Every structure is written in structure tokens, then in C-alpha cells.
Amino acid sequence: MLQSAPRQVQRSTQRFVRRCVTLACAVFPLAIAATPAHTQIVRGRVIDAMTGRGLDDVSISVVDDRGQSLAGTITDPLGRFRIEVAGAARTGLRVERPGYRGFIAADAVPTSRGEEVVLEVRLATDRIVIGPISVVGRRRIGAPHDWASRIRFMRTAGIGQSLVRAEIAEREVVQVSDLLATIPDIVLSGPPRARSVLFANGVDDAMCPPRIFLNGRTLTAPLDGIGPPLLIDALELYNGPVEEPAEFQDPSGCGVLLIWTRPDPADATPTRWRRAIVYLGMAAVGVVLFSR
């Protein structure tokens, strides 16, 4: 009996390690799947060099070192654009518009895979502007839940709208729908207990329903079922595809509304246990590998 005890402990340890390895193998692919694809996001605005007015219908393309187009788009009525290039490294830019002097700038997009850059492009009617491209900002595309760094970047680049906890508290509202009503370009419709959100694009007064995410997942409950606004850590509003971050996109092209709330205290203990089990599984795997 005394000799069999170590064997029982050994078998129990082996079963525990196998379970931990299984859990770790289940968790790691999910973490990898949540990581944005290794692409470049090139966005910004094309303006008239003399007036500063945004120029619509500008053809803008990301090109390789041979001048071949990798991807391109046309600027919107405000002169904004967004281009996604899969698997590209440092690239150039081709800019063309009738009545303006177009150009090709080699190595104009200083990004690497998994990054995005925001540019200001200036065009003139009579000449090619000296230094026609300025980098407004750049960032490494991060985890979807890293809203704090994303908001800092988007604010610096002048993209979208956002509110953080202190700014939400200053509004002194009692419902989430009341909070959203204070944000420009948002229109609320429907009865008080089931209000829906519409984005006004600010160009032709067209309105459409954005895709709404709550803590990274598509919201299916009513807005005011989220809880009081003081439980919200941050709001992010990106109107249309030119503003959408790489981490969240709306296939309809309307835009996205991201709502981030504080963790529910009731879920804290299970979350800590799950996290501890994952870490313990990682440690067990390391012990097994290095003990061979």
C-alpha cells in the first residue's frame, strides 16, 4: 500500500498535466485568432494645398517598388480615405485627381505588417507640392480590448469620436441612450425601452445603423439594458469604413460603436480561477518539456 501511493500521485499528476495541456491548447488558438491579420492600414485625408479643403474623388493607390498598384480607393466627400493592404512592407503612394498635379511618391508609407499609418496628402492645381505627404500618426495594431491606446491614437489622428469614464461622468445622464444622444452624428429612434442607434454621416444627411459591440462582442440586448452610464469605461464611435479600426469592422459599411464596461464583480472570482488554471497549465508544460 505504501509503495503504491507514489504511483497514484504520479498518475494523478499526469492526468492533471494532460488536462492543463488540453486547456492551454484550447485557449491559445483563441488568443491567436483574436489578433488582427498582418496587414497594413493606410488612411488619411487629401486636401487642397492652398485652401485646406478636403478633396473628393481623388484616386489614391498604394504601390510597390515597381509602381504596380497593390490596393486603392477614391476619397469621400470630405477627402478621407482608408486602404488595407495584405502582406505588404514599405510601399509608395500614387495620387491623381483631374485638375490637380498628381504624383507618385516612393517609400511614402512608412509602415510594416500589422501597422497602420495616418497621412495628410496635399495637392495643388499648378505644381507638385514640395513634401506633399505628412505622417499624422502611426501605431501597431493592437488587441481588440486595448481601447485605451487605440483611443489615444485615434484622437491624435483626428479619427472618430470617443468618451472615457471622466468625460462620461461630466454628462450627468442616467441611461446609455441619453449618453449617446449627447454625441454628434448619433440619432436615436424607437420607443424609450428599445431605442436603436443610427449614424448620420455628416455629408448628405444619410443615416444607417452601425454595428454595436459591448466589450468586444456584438450587442444583442437593448441599449439601456447595459446598465447605468457610470459603469462604462469608454465609448468609441467610428462613422463609416474610412474611420473603422482594423480590430472592428462593419460589413455593411455604416461604422461601429464600441462600448467598454467595467468587469462585473460577480465574475471576478471565476475569471481569476480560469486565469490561474491556464498559467498553471503553462508551467506544467514547461516542467514536462525541461524534465526530459
pLDDT of residue 3: 43
Bridge partners (DSSP) listed for residue 73: 60
**What are the strands of the beta sheet with 207-208, ordered from one edge?**
186-189, 196-200, 207-208
Q: Which among 140, 172, 196 is the end of a domain? A: 140
pLDDT of residue 154: 95
With beta carbons less than 8 A apart as the criterion, state whether 62 and 136 touch. Answer: no
Q: Do 19 and 117 belong together in one domain?
A: no
Please give the residue range of the domain that contains residue 73. Answer: 40-140
With beta carbons less than 8 A apart as the criterion, state whether 135 and 109 touch. Answer: no
Give just the sign of the alpha carbon dihedral 265, 266, 267, 273.
positive
Q: Do 161 and 264 belong together in one domain?
A: yes
Q: Compute the C-alpha angle 62/110/237, nearest 5°.
A: 80
| Grid cell for residue 286 | 514547461
- Cα distances from 183 to residues 171, 198, 248, in angstroms, run 10, 12, 20
The answer to whether residue 45 is domain-embedded is yes
Q: Do 231 and 271 belong together in one domain?
A: yes
Q: Do 81 and 106 belong together in one domain?
A: yes
Those residues of the chain that have pLDDT short of 50 are 1-6, 9, 12-13, 16-36, 265-271
Q: Do 93 and 184 belong together in one domain?
A: no
Q: Do 162 and 249 belong together in one domain?
A: yes
DSSP category for residue 124 = -
